[in-house]
Amino acid sequence: MTLTLYYHPLSSFCWKALIGLYEADVAFEPRQVNLGDPAERAAFQKVWPLAKFPVLRDEGRGRTIPESSVILDYLARTEPSAAFLIPDDPELAMRTRLIDRLIDSYIHLPFQQVVAERLRPDDKHDPYGAEQNRAAIRQGYDLIAPMIEGPWAMGEAFTAADCAALPALFYADYGVPLAGWPSLAAYLERLKARPGVARVLAEAEPWFQYFPLKDG
């Protein structure tokens, strides 16, 4: 098989790439990596020295593509069935990429910091920093909510922006509940009903027990 995705099923940024692959029905080999295993980490570092998920390897073209947003862009350019991820219209393409980056920067990344704070040793917690990140997420919700133009981020068409939104909103809802943003909460429920998203969530379910905010 030409395409290989190096990933972990609990990784939110891996979800973003997986949703694009599943929604486009692109054939690929999923290669799960346990970064806690020295041998697996070393093997992964030979593919991508930073050893950060996700990474797509395209053997047919001799390309290694890291970073979830870049992977989706690459799929849209190289896989005919994935062309819908980035609209042909330049203005719509720019808006798709903008929403993708805003979601990652102002919801996804701050929430990862909330999770990281929970994982710190007992004598190293930073409640003030965690609350700052929660405040940033609330600002992110305020920013993104009015930008969702229809059933999907770009209106009627499902795009890479929606691939970005699902993992960010799904996980952030545990730390900053979406109840105060009903339009985003409804959007998240629509996303969950997508076949590719449902598949990602089902594959991740056995790993949810390891998510530190699962129980509040």
All structural domains of the chain:
3-82 (3.40.30.10), 90-194 (1.20.1050.10)
pLDDT of residue 192: 97
Query: What is the predicted pLDDT for the residue at 213?
Result: 60
pLDDT the model gives residue 117 = 67
C-beta neighbour count of 139 within 10 angstroms = 13
72-76, 125-129, 170-174: range with lowest mean pLDDT: 125-129
Instruction: Report, as an integer, the average pLDDT of 19-30.
Output: 98
**Which of 146-155 are b and which e, b meaning 16 or more Cβ less than 10 Å from the residue's Cβ?**
eebeeebbbe
From the list 117, 177, 107, 180, the residue with the least C-alpha distance to 139 is 107
Res. 127: pLDDT tops 70: yes
What percentage of the chain exceeds 90 in pLDDT?
A: 81
pLDDT for 216: 47
Tell me how far apart the alpha carbons of residues 136 and 139 are, in angstroms, rounded to a whole number. 5
Reply yes or no on whether the pLDDT at 48 is more than 80.
yes
Task: Look at residue 57 and tell me whether its pLDDT is greater than 60.
Answer: yes
Q: Specify whether the CB–CB gap between 24 and 49 falls below 8 A.
A: no
Q: Over range 188-195, report the average pLDDT.
A: 97
